[in-house]
Amino acid sequence: MRSLCPVWPVLGAIILVLAGCRNQTQPRVVRLALNSSSADWRLSVNGTNRSGDLADSTLTKELVRLRLRQGDVMLITLPRARQTGSVKRAEEWLSHYCQSNSVAVYLVLDPFPGVEIFSVRAYHWTAPYDNPFDLARASFFCEGQFLGQGRNGFEEMLGHIERERPRQVFILGSLFDLSRSFPPDSSPYEHQRDRLDNVLKASGTDFIQLDALPGF
């Protein structure tokens, strides 16, 4: 197990509207990567339909169209040495967008040897915003596909790992109330971590553990 530890006016107004929107789509995993040699981005949703290089303006339009909300998670890869100007403005927009819409952000600084976010399978869960430990009300997913709810959902996630035996996994969670005294790695399977560790070990699976942020 390894651990990592000015907003554009018009789009800013759109974000505030979208923050109150709720649609019926299942929680999604959005992956973003800033190219280290340019100011372009790569984007995928639930591990599929990875885009080509996107300019900042196209990226923001795509994210507004997705109407991300609490329950969705975003994995972002950024170079450690980043450019200024338009890239900085795009990062500020992304951070504000995720905070406004209560989207959990997981940040991976590049290079991080052996981890490529578009290749690592993502399992994810949702839980009440005010209680990330509530297993009975938690739901579990693999790349946007519903696996189950409560303890049964957690066990189905473990069974999925046992059957598929992926080399690496992310296990990501919905954003919770960071103003309270919850630890950074709060999860509904807090009391089942030994069970998770045993399944990961038996499957030969490396759990790339990340902490959720409201923005970055």
DSSP β-ladder status, 73-79 and 29-34: parallel
**CA 121/CA 198 separation, integer angstroms:** 19
Residues 6+ apart with CB under 8 A from 49: none
pLDDT of residue 82: 64
pLDDT at residue 36 tops 90: no
Contact 65, 76 (CB under 8 A): no
Residues 6+ apart with CB under 8 A from 39: 55, 56, 83, 86, 87, 90
Tens of pLDDT, residue by residue over 23-33, are 457 999 999 99
Tens of pLDDT, residue by residue over 38-97, are 778 999 999 987 777 888 888 899 999 999 999 999 999 988 776 667 778 888 899 999
- Measure the N-to-C terminal CA separation of the chain; round to a whole number of Å: 23
Higher pLDDT, 105 or 10: 105
pLDDT at residue 21 tops 60: no
Half-sphere exposure (Cβ direction) of 6: Cα atoms closer than 13 Å: 2
Residues 6+ apart with CB under 8 A from 138: 125, 126, 127, 149, 150, 153, 154, 188
Tens of pLDDT, residue by residue over 107-148, are 988 777 889 999 999 999 999 999 999 999 999 999 999 999
CB count, 10 Å around CB of 37? 7
Polymer length in residues for the chain = 216
Q: Domain-by-domain residue ranges, the chain?
A: 2-18+27-110, 121-210
Q: Would you state the torsion angle of the CA atoms of residues 135, 139, 142, 144, taken in this order, to the nearest 10 degrees?
A: -150
Higher pLDDT, 214 or 200: 200
pLDDT of residue 23: 43
Three-class SS state of 171: strand
Order of strands, sheet of 104-110, starting from the edge strand that comes earlier in the sequence: 41-45, 29-34, 73-79, 104-110
Which pLDDT band holds residue 14 (cuts at 50, 70, 90)? very low
Tens of pLDDT, residue by residue over 146-205, are 999 999 999 999 999 999 999 999 999 999 998 888 988 899 999 999 999 999 999 999
**CA 152/CA 136 separation, integer angstroms:** 9
Which residues on adjacent β-strands are paired with residue 136? none
Which pLDDT band holds residue 12 (cuts at 50, 70, 90)? very low
The CATH class of 2-18+27-110 is alpha beta
